[in-house]
Amino acid sequence: MEEPNPKQRATRHEAAPARRFVGPVVILVLAFASAVVYAAWPVRRPPGFHVWTFARLHHQIYVPIAEQWNLTHTPKVNLTLLSLPALEQRMLSAFLARTTSAELIEVERRAAARAFVGPLDAVGFVDLTDRIRAEKLDINPASFSPWTARGRIFGLPHDVHPVMLGYRADLVEAAGIDVSRIETWDDFFNVLRPLMDERDEEGLPKHYLLNFWDTPVHGEVVELLILQAGGALFDERGQPTLDRATNAHVLATLVSWRVGPRRVVADAPYFSASGNKLLLEGRVVASFVPDWMCNIWRFEIPQLAGKVKLMPLPAWARGGRRTSVWGGTMLGISRSATDIDGLWTFAKRLYLSRDAAHELYTRGDIITPVRSFWDDPIYDKPDPFFSGQAKGRAYIDLASQVPIRSNSPYGTLAMTEVQNALIALVAYAQRSKRYAADELTGEAARLLGLAQARVAARVARNVFLAAEPLSADVRESTP
């Protein structure tokens, strides 16, 4: 092959840099053109105010309410169903950038907490405290606690979410066991223990008594049991309290259920096909069931119909609390909204009307937080799925016992630390062959002390959550 002469080589070398710049120039030109077109393109937001929700069932209930509202009211209501991650990202982006979002936002507990991380006057939701106090809304008091930051309320509660145990009544009654004898957790395991006598081909119990394990999917169960026992991860000022003695006692007790030759729990993961299969097989006799979980069982495990019943949670001590709480949703008004009075009126129509409460239970198995509606006969209707129990009335009878809870923006971090402490305590118990709760409490306290220090260090960096007492006017602002 003939070599190019020096002049041709020089020409090629001179042309190469020019070619290298063609691509970036084209990209810049296209980007500029796209920006011009985007800026000039008319983006029309539908007239009226907008409501975001993340729950398909809620959206289905709200559609006819909004349609009826739009017949007689202006501005019109526009409902939008988003995935929870999409709603959370849009909400926080709008709040942080102080741009327009939906005027009404329905959001669950963990996502709402992230809006409370800064000063109160920077929270993206309208402070509803004075309106709620002035109108003396007849709402279950504990239902306000997840939407309260430093004594101020930023959302209307959608629910109460008491927790009961859903148990395999067919197995329990076939064994001649009377669950009315159960008052405490010790009673629960003592009374039901005969069910563990039946063994599989490997010599293991066919039935474990409770659905629990030291995995993240059971993290909400750890928290609800801490709350039931009177513990807490944060106090009313938003300061972490992971190292409370009650919390250590609960963790030690959970590990005593989980390890050793007398283990009484098994893992049937929530919200999974494998977990549902284990429930159906009776691998676990009882599982934690807030009111909304009834709806999941009804549609995801229809084969359980007529085989299960509900009972109050066993108390940690005689005469103690027989329920706890799991989950929660609020409706808040965006601070960027203008017609606050109109939005407040529609928010009450959506959350605090009798027909909406009726639909919420009929279609979602969820009891309303509005106490004046608890006389609805729908709650006394026998439910064939739960062996004819009037489960609505059973949940309402427990609603006043639902514990107060903090909704700190550091709640997810705190639960991660508690979960890590639980896993470490399980390893300690297996390594040391110490299986009794009283043998594990000291190590549980040590692990939670380390967790407390880590969470407290993070909270201390936030000057808006400084450790100072609540003023009298803030304390009195809560219903």
Residue holding tokens 């709200």? 62
Where do runs of H (alpha helix) occur along 160-318? Answer: 169-174, 185-192, 219-228, 245-258, 273-281, 291-300
Q: Is 349 contained in some domain?
A: yes
Answer whether 327's CB lies under 8 Å from 161's CB.
yes
Of 327, 324, 306, whose CA–CA distance to 315 is shortest? 324
Q: Which two tokens stand for residue 116?
A: 């409370």
Name the more confident of 238 and 1: 238
**Per-residue pLDDT at 100:** 84
Tell me the pLDDT tens digit for each residue of 170-181. Answer: 999 999 999 999
Check which CATH number belongs to the domain holding 385 and give it: 3.40.190.10
Q: Is 43 contained in some domain?
A: no
| Residue 446 scores a pLDDT above 80 | yes
Per-residue pLDDT band for 373 (boundaries 50, 70, 90) equals: very high
- How many domains does the chain divide into? 1
**Per-residue pLDDT at 156:** 98
Does the model's pTM come out above 0.85? yes
Answer whether 163's CB lies under 8 Å from 313's CB.
yes
Answer whether 295's CB lies under 8 Å from 156's CB.
no
| Residue 330 scores a pLDDT above 70 | yes
Q: What percent of the chain has pLDDT over 90?
A: 80
Tell me the pLDDT tens digit for each residue of 243-258. Answer: 999 999 999 999 999 9
| Residue 336 scores a pLDDT above 60 | yes
Q: Is 415 contained in some domain?
A: no
Where do runs of H (alpha helix) occur along 114-152? Answer: 129-135
**Per-residue pLDDT at 22:** 60
Task: Identify the H or E element spanning 163.
Answer: strand 163-168
Q: Cα angle vertex 291, ends 289, 293, to 5°?
A: 55
Q: What is the mean pLDDT of residues 298-314?
A: 98
Q: Is 373 contained in some domain?
A: yes
**Per-residue pLDDT at 34:** 56
Tell me the pLDDT tens digit for each residue of 76-117. Answer: 999 999 999 999 999 999 998 888 899 999 999 999 999 988
Q: Is 103 contained in some domain?
A: yes
Tell me the pLDDT tens digit for each residue of 19-77. Answer: 555 665 556 566 565 544 444 444 466 789 999 999 999 999 999 999 999 999 988 99
Residues 6+ apart with CB under 8 A from 63: 79
Answer whether 207's CB lies under 8 Å from 198's CB.
yes
Q: Is 447 contained in some domain?
A: no
**Per-residue pLDDT at 27:** 64
Q: CA 330, CA 129: separation in Å to the nearest integer?
A: 14
Q: What is the mean pLDDT of residues 127-143?
A: 96
Q: Is 353 contained in some domain?
A: yes
Least confident span in 3-12, 256-265, 307-316, 335-344: 3-12
Q: CA 187, CA 179: separation in Å to the nearest integer?
A: 9
Q: What is the DSSP string of 388-414?
A: TB-HHHHHHHHHTTPPP----TTHHHH
Task: Identify the H or E element spanning 40.
Answer: helix 6-40
Name the more confident of 201 and 254: 254
Per-residue pLDDT band for 476 (boundaries 50, 70, 90) equals: very low
**Per-residue pLDDT at 121:** 86
Q: Is 113 contained in some domain?
A: yes
Q: What is the mean pLDDT of residues 418-446?
A: 98
| Residue 10 scores a pLDDT above 70 | no
Q: What is the 3-state secondary structure (H, E, C) of 290-331?
A: EHHHHHHHHHHCHHHCCCEEEEECCECCCCCCCCCECCCEEE
**Per-residue pLDDT at 378:** 97
Residue holding tokens 């801490």? 226
Q: What is the mean pLDDT of residues 319-325?
A: 98
| Residue 450 scores a pLDDT above 50 | yes
Question: What range defines the domain where residue 78 resides?
Answer: 49-160+327-399
What's the farthest any 2 CA atoms get from each other in the chain? 102
